Amino acid sequence: MIDPREKDRLFEETITRNNGWIGFLARNNAPIDSWQDLEQEIRIAFWESMDSYDVERSSLETWFFSVAKNTVKKFIDKNNKTKKRDEAVYPNPVFVEQDRDELRIIEEFTRTLGKLDRQVFTMYIDDLTYAEMSVALSVDEANLRKRVSRIKEQFKAKYQGL
C-alpha cells in the first residue's frame, strides 16, 4: 500500500506531466460534450488504481498509460452511442486550409488511422519509448517499429508540400 502523502505527490506529478495527453485522449474518444467527463474518469481511475500500484510491475508512467487507455475503452463501451455521435460531429476529416495548424493536423490524421495505429501514433507523438508502448499495447517492439514507420510514410504522403 502506497503512503498517502507519496500517493498525492505521485498523482500530482503524473497528472501534471500528462495533462495534455489526457486532454488529447479525451478529445479523440469522447463526443464534444463529454470530453471533460472522460478526463475526469481517467483521473479518478488513476487515483483509485494507485493503491494497487506495484513498483516492480511497471513504471508509474506505463501504469498510468494502461489505466488511461483501459478507462477510455470502458467509457466508450459504457456510452456505445459515442461512436455514432462522433461520426456526426466529424463526418469526414475535412481539409480546412485556414485552420491547418499542427494540432489540427494531429487530430485530423488520427481520425484517418485504424484503432491500433491510432494508439501507436498517439503514444509516438507523446514520446513514449517502444518498450513502454509494447507493454501498454501488448504488441512486440519489432511490430511497433514497422507500424510507426508505415504511419510516418502515410503521414508524409498525406501532408507532403505543406
The site for another protein (CB under 8 A) is made up of: 8, 11-13, 15-17, 19-21, 23-24, 40, 43-45, 47-49, 52-53, 58, 63, 66-67, 69-71, 73-74, 77, 80, 101-103, 105-106, 109, 116, 124-127, 135-139, 143, 151-152, 155-156, 159-160, 162
Within the chain, residue ranges assigned H as helices are 4-29, 35-49, 60-78, 82-89, 102-112, 115-125, 130-137, 141-159
Rounded to the nearest whole angstrom, what is the least distance from the CB of residue 15 to another protein in the complex? 6
Say if CB 10 and CB 2 are below 8 A apart: yes
| CA–CA dist 11, 108 (Å, integer) | 31
Exposed e or buried b for every residue in 21-35, given b needs 16+ CB within 10 A?
Answer: bbebbbebbbbeebb
Nearer to another protein among residue 97 and residue 127 (C-beta): 127
Nearer to another protein among residue 32 and residue 140 (C-beta): 140
Would you tell me the crossing angle of helices 35-49 and 60-78 to the nearest 10 degrees? 130
| CA–CA dist 33, 35 (Å, integer) | 6
Cα–chain center distance at 144? 16
